Structure 1
């Protein structure tokens, strides 16, 4: 290998954070050629990045001792340039600690070093991190960050204000007052700084200073507002603090008039009326707010409370119910059910004619696992809303229990779906007046829970897909013609292949296919990611920043603001060659789009591992390791088995919180079997496995986690376990522990304190298995006959840890018991996983397979 090639290879090791090997090779090169300045600079860089500044300093000092002045000057310049490049790179990757370490190293190398642009870039990123910490109430950590900024540059007016605010939130008012004075003295946002000083002074019970500060803030806001609505709002806050309610009322109303689409303005005015017990006026304010915020949970909650104050219980139930309904809190729909049911029971005789209410009430019943009640509400709606026949029938058709009580119940609802589908396919042709209702029905419900019955759904999915396609050909013929787009695959030798990825789950399931976007050859392919969101969502959350970084274009599509056909027009205007629906079957919005022809080649993936049934989807991108023999018969699409597991999963990278078992309410002397799949994946015919394992030791404990639907579904699951454990004269409470829904950090820590991961037999773990492997947690799995029950099997095969792959349920039980009783074997499995797990991550073989598929598929179209 040439020296330049060898050095480039070592730099690639540094880029992959393989610092140990990189430093070993660099030191070997320097032993042979100690005068190689580039190698020396890379060695200093590697030591800094691996968190060993002492080694970096020692390397630099050794260079100073052994080199002449001219060499030192040239090497210093080269090292500074290299560190500057890597500071920008690490900032782009949000690796602030590394960026700061390199910047401090720059200042250490050259005492006169000064690069204002680079310093500002670093400081701005650190301040942004501090503000993010504040947003999640980590004020102590934020203060540490802000003080680091002052170490880099002591003149940071914004930091004075942020320090004052963080100390105030920690109730350290003396320290907060000190920094607030500095913010005011610096002239930073004087209105806000004076106001902050006011609330700090209240904390110190210095009411003279508080009144003076609020008066100064109000004067500043009013004298510098230029009809700025936010300034009037802040002046209103000051007026309230100064005891002038009438002035506050005036300023709040002025802010709403100038800027009626800001919720905070309405909330302040309504709160003022609430303090004065003027509930009718408060209701009026929120009525105006609903025009701009029709689904805001806080507005509904406040309206409900206001009606309670007026003694109007029924209206209070309506608004309180919807405050829960629109909330993202765990179990919110079950809480909404109590209020909406009460409202409905009292209103029914007055002929409630609001279709949305019937739909929402049925959803509340459904997620609480009261499936029959949900169906009854929908059938009532079917009699009342004749113009919504297709939509309501679709809702009825897609209504399944979230959790089944028995195998007989699975059979009942499966037969019910099949009969309903047969009746639907025999309906009269769609008339022009029914066209809108039919199209809306397609984005109303999905067959999501059908696939959780453990059966082959290909025939049912195909029949449903054909019915949709046949009707769309009649009412939207131009959108279903495959031949009309074939010419768009022309001139590929002179341009990139245009690929689009559609996702409604970018922030979660996006972890699966992020590697596609990252590692595909962007010299050959142009990749557009379409991020479907509800209009209330933030567009910069979760993995979106990564998709923005690695894609050629990220397009945010608000499904609440656009119709299905508007979205279709937007997609087709991008002239894509290949369109990939990453998780078809999860979300109804995609149910319409996937039956249209929006690109010459259309695909789906195993992010939702079941066939789409749509004739408009050409290929199913699956995994070579996951698919069983003769698996094409499970798909209506042409099956493409990409190498390994098809996705280059990223490594599990997180900083443990050092939580112990007691933090999760678990006993230290128990063997913890983690059963962390969503509860609806556990079918009743497999419940017997748990007591069969449990009867072998009193120290065995199964840990389950509440599903997103909340504790109501958990309650039904516990009833099943009570029956199954009772068959062996055991109490499930002695062996089963249920945890509330966990955030990602706690979920990862739970994997660290567990002993064994028990894979679900009917639907294998995907991202949950990735997390278990990342935590070296032994996995017991038993591959099923469908790909959706073979994810863990494939991942274990990929990392060559196959000792705990069972061939049947009985062997699964034996392995689980042996792992629980044999500490030595369990540790051997852990060690093997720790050594091999890197084989699972950032796989490039699947990328090469994907690229080959794209090129071959496009060639066939031409």
Structure 2
């Protein structure tokens, strides 16, 4: 091509940029490559080629193109920053930091380099350097505050509370518009890290900055993840009650502008093992006046023969709540319209199962409470069912209003909501004690059978004990999340370890190392040298746990909050369990399963009886074999049973018929 035929640099560059801005990556790359062939001194073209290759993950060519830029002009801060990003992605932190610092030598107020240096130091645990560079970036570019906040939220949702706390701490120090919100999120992280005093300090600081009723409520309901002793547990409960009284006295002067930021419902309250009805009623009375009011329900849809049923939860993915309740959709009459409402924060993947064919739609709800309520009302449901209330705050706020003619609560979190807006708490006679209504604000609906329709899953081939990594000895497993381990249950551990020199007790760590350390200290103080036979194993995947189950000599059902779906897994693996049924539903699941199966061995009537039966089942092969034989004869009564689901469908149809009759009258 003659020189006269070479397109002008300006026109070629403009066309290449247009292609790049239009997202035509291949076309723009070819255009810039043509430019550098014709105009090899065009550093801008080399730079854009480097950016394109970097975005494609073609780091080798990206580095080559950026090197050409620096040969033409060694003082371009963006190039050093991009080379630092590539080095970070390649796992070369020392090289990356060198590039970022070079960019800052050129321009000490280049915010992206400070931002990237901070992000580089964060996973390395160099929190002082992380905070310094983050604050530098924020002081240069205030818009980064929201970027840091979202990065903190991402870390929090992944369960990386240490990194999330560091990110929110930077925003708190920056003192920008998100300072109070960052303090609330930092509190959440500190709670999960077992740093309760610091967490309460954050709430106090947030309240000083914004004396909002929501923050005062969060301060009142703050509870540790685990307790150091029963005395500490009771002290926290007394503090909660006292703070509630103060809030009730000051209610007229409180506003609740930050209800949407309420980071926790009193989830950990249920694990204290006491009757929570009065506390939950008081919580409901405090919040209800501040929830957006809706106009009364008006019937617009012509009456149909088929029910329209809405289901509300955050846990429709593969989760114990979904495992327990989604299969009951199969038990409704054909034509029933089932709508699943996902509260904010839900995972988008739906638990697989045959029931999916019964679902008419899955509807994500708005993060704005009033809009979410309107979304549900717009569906003109006959019945609205909350599978759980108590594990996150949004559902609790939704349930304050009547969004359907009939509203019910299932025991996904087996505690009363304290709300008057619900028409019933649906449970089972085999799950509840004789005075159960005294534990619920909602009218108690007792089915004859549990709702759970647990599949009879194929068992994994039994692997050799040597492959499991389990300790030698007799294995007593307590496979629950750590916050279920009430200090009072430690007496069982102590008695078993004292009575059985071969006993090894297995628990599973699903919380932060800091929370685990609190438990280990508690056990060391109580058990002394025997604490060496207490094992905190890593939390296991579902598949791996089922491989380990057959090697357990016994599963311990903790009290006062016992096993749930894990009890079904233990029965499938034919591993005996010992349980001391409590007063509340949350501690009566194993006894309900045993009652269904006709099993008596393993149901204790006292702490001493619990220990005696545990030792007998773990040590006596004949007793264990008799237990297994009874289980095998009756297993069909428990697994793949749709009786509870059928009862629920009939009950809801009857309730709808009664409602229509009342309206007609």
The answer on 1:666 being equivalent to 2:470 is yes
Structure 1 residues 423, 490: CA separation in 2 closer, same or farther (over 3 Å shift)? Answer: farther
**Partners of 1:763 and 1:583 in 2: how far apart?**
16
Deviation at 1:396, TM superposition (A): 0.6
Q: Which residue of the other structure, out of 365, 380, 384, is the alignment partner of 1:575?
A: 380
Per the TM alignment, residue 277 of structure 1 is displaced from its structure 2 partner at its CA by: 0.9
User: How do 1:791-802 and structure 2 match up within 5 A?
Assistant: 791-802=589-600
Aligned-pair distance for 1:678?
A: 1.5
Q: Using a 3 Å threshold, how does the CA distance of structure 1 residues 310 and 249 change in structure 2: closer, same or farther?
A: farther
What is the distance in 1 between the residues matched to 2:54 and 2:375? 41
Match for residue 741 of structure 1? 539
Of 506, 511, 527, 1:725 maps to: 527
CA separation in 2, counterparts of 1:721 and 1:447? 26
Are 2:327 and 1:540 aligned? Answer: no
User: In structure 1, the residue corresponding to 2:257 is in which secondary structure?
Assistant: helix
Partner of residue 527, structure 1: 338
| 1:528 Cα deviation after fit | 1.0
**TM-score normalized with structure 2 length:** 0.79
Instruction: Tell me, yes or no, if the aligned pair for 2:184 and 2:263 is still in contact at 8 Å.
Output: no
CA–CA separation in structure 1 for the residues paired with 2:117 and 2:422: 42
Whether 1:370 aligns to 2:195 is yes
Aligned length: 591
Contact (CA 8 Å) 2:83, 2:99: kept in 1 or not?
A: no
- Could you tell me how far apart the structure 1 residues matched to 2:285 and 2:241 are? 14
Question: Could you tell me whether the CA contact under 8 Å between 2:121 and 2:129 is conserved in 1?
Answer: no
The answer to whether the Cα contact below 8 Å between 1:498 and 1:527 also exists between their aligned partners in 2 is yes
Counterparts of 2:592 and 2:127, CA distance in 1: 59
Question: Quick one: distance in 1 between partners of 2:111 and 2:541?
Answer: 33
Establish whether residue 598 from structure 1 lines up as the match of residue 403 from structure 2. Answer: yes
2: CA distance between counterparts of 1:266 and 1:289? 11
Candidates 392, 414, 433, aligned match of 2:215:
392
Is the contact between residue 324 and residue 332 of structure 1 (CA under 8 Å) also seen in structure 2?
no
Matches within 5 A, 1:505-516: 505-507=315-317, 508=319, 509-516=321-328
> Does the aligned pair in 1 maintain the 2:570–2:576 contact within 8 Å?
yes
- In structure 2, the partner of 1:357 is 182
Cα 1:312–1:816 change in 2 (3 A) is closer
Higher helix share: 1
Relative distance call for 1:465 and 1:741 in structure 2 (3 A) is same
Gaps of 5+ in 1: 1-216, 251-263, 291-297
Corresponding residue for residue 828 of structure 1: 626
TM-score, scaled relative to structure 1: 0.62
Q: C-alpha distance in 1, partners of 2:83/2:417?
A: 46
CA distance in 2, matches of 1:284, 1:802: 73
CA 469–279 in structure 1, closer or farther in 2 if over 3 Å, else same: same
2:303 equivalent to 1:500? no
* CA 1:410–1:288: 2 relative to 1, 3 Å: same
Residue in 2 that maps onto 1:478:
294
Q: Kindly tell me: are residues 311 and 778 of structure 1, through their superposed partners in 2, closer, same or farther at Cα, counting changes over 3 Å?
A: closer
Q: In structure 1, how many angstroms separate the alpha carbons of the residues matched to 2:176 and 2:27?
A: 55
Task: State the secondary structure of the residue aligned to 2:239.
Answer: helix
1:246 aligns with 2:69: no
User: Residues 529 and 547 of structure 1 are in contact (CA less than 8 Å); yes or no, is this contact kept in structure 2?
Assistant: no
SS of the residue 1:552 aligns to: strand
Q: 1:327: Cα distance to partner?
A: 2.9
313 and 327 in structure 1: CA distance in 2 versus 1, 3 angstrom threshold? closer
Which of the numbers 689, 698, 702 marks the counterpart of 2:501?
698
Q: State the partner residue of 1:44.
A: none
Partner in structure 2 of residue 712 of structure 1: 514
In structure 2, the gaps of 5 or more residues are 1-24, 34-48, 71-81, 137-146, 661-665
User: Does the 8 Å contact 2:118/2:130 carry over to 1?
Assistant: no
Residue 406, structure 1, aligned to residue 238, structure 2:
no
How far 1:328 sits from its partner (Å)? Answer: 6.3
Offset of residue 303 of structure 1: 7.2
| Cα displacement (A) at 1:365 | 2.0
Q: Distance in 2 between matches of 1:454 and 1:756?
A: 23
**Residue 608 of structure 1: how far off its partner (Å):** 0.4
Whether the aligned pair in 1 keeps the contact of 2:155 and 2:164 (CA below 8 Å) is no
Deviation of 1:287 after TM superposition, in Å, equals 5.5
* Match status 1:555 vs 2:375: no
1:429 paired with 2:219, answer no
Match runs of 1:746-761 below 5 Å: 746-761=544-559
Q: Tell me how far 1:757 sits from its aligned partner.
A: 0.6
Q: Is the 8 A contact 2:220 2:243 kept in 1?
A: yes
> What is the correspondence of 1:844-855 to structure 2 with a 5 Å cutoff?
844-855=642-653
Deviations 1:340-399 (A, max 9, x none): 698699x59x8997112212222222112222221122112211224xx12211221221
CA distance in 2, matches of 1:436, 1:235: 42
**Cα offsets for 1:800-845 (capped at 9, x unmatched):** 2221111222111110010122122213323432443232122222
Alpha carbons of 1:267 and 1:614: their partners in 2 closer, same or farther (altered >3 Å)? farther
2:486·2:560 contact (CA, 8 Å) conserved in 1? yes
Cα distance in 1, alignment partners of residues 151 and 541 from structure 2:
23
Structure 2 SS opposite 1:828: helix
Alpha-carbon displacement from aligned partner over 1:698-746 (angstroms, at most 9, x marks no partner): 1111100012x222222111222122223xxx4210x211101211111
* Partner SS for 2:506: strand
- 1:765-810 residue CA offsets vs partner (Å, 9 max, x unmatched): 1111111112111111111011111011111211222211112221
Which residue of 1 is the match for residue 286 of structure 2? Answer: 467
Residues 10-31 of structure 1 show CA distances to partners (whole Å, capped at 9, x for unaligned) of xxxxxxxxxxxxxxxxxxxxxx
8 Å contact 2:185–2:263 — kept in the other structure? no
Aligned CA distance change for structure 1 residues 547 and 529 (closer, same or farther; 3 Å): farther
Residue of structure 1 equivalent to 2:45 = none
Q: In 2, distance between residues paired with 1:616 and 1:545?
A: 32
- The answer (yes or no) to whether the contact 1:677–1:765 under 8 Å persists in 2 is yes
Contact kept, 8 Å, 1:358 with 1:378, in 2: the verdict is yes
Match of 2:264 in 1: 445
- Counterpart mapping for 1:799-814 below 5 A: 799-814=597-612
Identify the range of structure 1 (240-249 vs 739-748) with the bigger mean alpha-carbon deviation. Answer: 240-249
Distance (whole Å) between structure 2 residues aligned to residue 578 and residue 239 of structure 1: 56
Q: Secondary structure at the match of 2:433?
A: coil
Q: Is the contact made by 1:236 and 1:247 (CA closer than 8 Å) also made in structure 2?
A: no
Deviation, 1:289, is 14
Deviation (angstroms), 1:417 = 1.2
- Residues 435, 845 of structure 1: alpha-carbon distance in 2 compared, 3 angstrom cutoff: same
Q: Which residue of the partner structure matches residue 564 of structure 1?
A: 369
Query: CA offset at residue 306 of structure 1?
Result: 11
Residue 160 (structure 2) pairs with residue 332 (structure 1): yes
* Contact 2:564 2:589 (8 Å CA) reproduced: yes
The answer to whether the 8 A contact 2:388-2:411 is kept is: yes
| 1:254-403 pair list within 5 angstroms | 274=96, 277-278=99-100, 301-302=119-120, 304=122, 314-315=132-133, 326-327=154-155, 332-334=160-162, 336-337=164-165, 339=166, 347=173, 354-386=179-211, 389-403=212-226
Secondary structure, aligned partner of 2:260: helix
> Higher relative contact order at CA 8 Å, sep ≥6: structure 1 or structure 2?
2
Q: Do the aligned residues in 2 keep the contact of 1:304 with 1:316 (CA within 8 Å)?
A: no
CA contact 2:225–2:268 (8 Å) conserved in 1: yes
1:580-602 deviations in Å (ceiling 9; x for gaps): 11110110111210101111111
Instruction: Tell me how far apart the structure 1 counterparts of residues 168 and 652 of structure 2 sit (CA, whole Å).
Output: 52
- The alignment partner of 2:362 has SS state of strand
**Superposition CA RMSD, Å:** 4.0
SS at structure 2 position matched to 1:777? coil
